[in-house]
Chain A
């Protein structure tokens, strides 16, 4: 992409400094929003832009905001900066290098939601980053971009940072709210959804860092401009993360709808050592694993097209694996992750991830038994549709898709030749 919209710091050095950010139009969208727009107009604008949540689910942001229970106050906005999906490191770059655009997005969202207080929930490992954000918020308060009577109106806003302490599950929005309330990060039963009963039981909007970072450019340049990027159903730019077996790992901001091939080979420089690309996990560890066929490589990466392949775009965190990778080992790695991160609240996930790990360790170790692959598959299928939140569901998808699409790599499986 010629111009970066989200990773704008790559075009404008020093954008993490307030005076530089302001010099390039920073906080003008917020001023314009607060002084000339009603909250309903902002929600309509975001709906019209077609912006979809960038945390993984791809739900339209403006629609999510419109679900807020009317006339119940106070309301809260929470920015999800608990970036923990293996293979995902996009929010971190935005927070580190373009923090004001993100924080301005939080403020615009808070105004639209008529919230006077917003929290940024940072994963605990972002310790240094959280301190930097605290400093940036101090600068915003001093410059009058937070506080009472914002831009001379009656609107008041403050944004505060809350640091997590190491728990992947807190990226799930209701677990995040529990954690922010000082409790174990365990998901809530829904409904009620956070828009009705969120933080402290009040109507709450939760959005991902990248989602919120889209807001200032949408305000300043309009919905039609935003829709001119990306595809009809998945508009706008997206930050794609490349990790694993790739020549140039890192973040790439491209329009939604860019093909796998262009991202991996043109931007990422292809696979090291000229080896063959074997498999792609498009949404981090939570992916349905794709075999890297020509048909897959030529598929545009938007929410619908990747779903049509039998996977999901999710957070667009591509983990790439070359021909040397043993898929049974991949299953063991992802299962280790989910077993460790299961919060223990619901039985299918707590017990299921335990048994999936046990079996995948046996499949990759010495004690393999003839029916282990079939048994692993049956445990995974038994969990599907029964878990309280997406963590449990997603823990099964690498397992079932690896078994389905790379069955030959699980020898001595149902065939019985130990």
Chain B
């Protein structure tokens, strides 16, 4: 249970908002649930809902609406490549294709070892350093900018090793 394992973190999150508006804490608590369970499980929706005094369906709608919450277990590492217009003008679409080829997947797919999901995403505010991507895992989101296919593969393989070997 989140409430037992993360009581200090949960108290700190709830303390950020006025006590009569606990529902504001739903979003940070969903990140906490994702960290614990890898994705937002149905049971986690209930836990978060109980913590903020909302209905599980209300919390569930957030998971559907916001792109950084996931209700399915996919790759442990989500490689999210920006292919929006400014990045695309600097070759991001080709870059994304080549990264996919190197990993043997198509956009949106996960490698057979269950480690890496590659996704095309919308603008990440890194247009001047394209091609670029972010990696989302259960501990957070980190940027990798001014990339080539070679440097991106090195970053991805390095992260894959770290996850595999803990």
Contact = CB atoms under 8 A, between A and B. Distances in A.
B125 A123 contact: yes
A73 B135 CA distance: 42
A125 interface: yes
A1 B26 CA distance: 44
Interface string A302-330: 00000000000000000111000100001
Given A84-B123, A128-B140, A184-B62, A163 B28 contact: yes
Given A160-B16, A168-B122, A184-B61, A241 B128 contact: yes
Interface stretch (A87-95, A103-111, A144-152, A187-195): A87-95
Interface string B67-103: 1110000000000000011101110000000000000
A183 B125 contact: no
B148 interface: no
Given A127-B141, A163-B31, A89 B125 contact: yes
B141 to A, nearest CB: 4
B146 to A, nearest CB: 10
A291 B126 CA distance: 25
Interface stretch (A225-233, A244-252, A357-365): A244-252
A182 B25 contact: yes
A341 B24 CA distance: 22
Contact of B122 (A245, A330, A337): A337
Nearest to B22: A182
Contacts of A385: none
Contacts of B23: 181-183
Given A127-B142, A337-B85, A243 B66 contact: no
A125 B68 contact: yes
Given A89-B125, A92-B125, A128 B143 contact: yes
Given A182-B52, A184-B62, A244 B16 contact: no
Contacts of A164: 27, 66
Given A181-B24, A337-B123, A340-B122, A244 B90 contact: yes
A338 B81 CA distance: 18
A86 B89 contact: no
Contacts of A84: 122-123, 125
A173 interface: no
A167 B31 contact: no
Interface in A325-365: 325, 330, 333-334, 337, 340-341, 343
B162 interface: no
Nearest to B18: A200
Contacts of A341: 122
Interface of A: 83-89, 91-92, 117, 123-128, 160, 162-168, 179-185, 200, 241-245, 249-251, 281, 285, 319-321, 325, 330, 333-334, 337, 340-341, 343
